[in-house]
Structure 1
Amino acid sequence: MKQSEIISLSTAELQVRLSEVKKTYAELKTAHAISPIQNPLQIRTMRRAVARLATELSKREL
């Protein structure tokens, strides 16, 4: 998810998207712990997406 896409979202949409991405990230980590997933770089991509969304939410709170 690009930063320009994140900035264009409303605060409510950001919160919904953050919860979805966190859920996907947790599922990927669990799947990778059980048996290695095909593309482990997905985990890094999802972790960074969570960070981007959380950062934008905290910026808006200030």
Structure 2
Amino acid sequence: MKQAEIKQLSVADLQEKLATLKKNYSDLKMAHAISPLENPLELRTLRRTVARVATELNNRQ
């Protein structure tokens, strides 16, 4: 998710997106701990997206 897309979302959408992204990240991290992911760079991409959404949410409050 790009920064321009994040800026277009409302606060409610950002909160919802943050919750789903955090859940996806934790699920992916658990799956990687059990058996290696085919593409472990997904973890980094998802973690950075979570940070982008959280930062935008904090900037708006």
- Scaled to the shorter chain, the TM-score interval is over 0.9
Alignment length (residue pairs): 61
> Secondary structure at 1:36's aligned position in 2?
coil
Q: What stretches of structure 1 of length at least 5 have no aligned partner?
A: none
Corresponding residue of 1:46: 46
Letter aligned with residue 25 of structure 2: Y
Q: What stretches of structure 2 of length at least 5 have no aligned partner?
A: none
With normalisation by structure 1, the TM-score equals 0.97
RMSD (CA atoms):
0.3
Which 4+ runs in 1 deviate beyond 2 A?
A: none
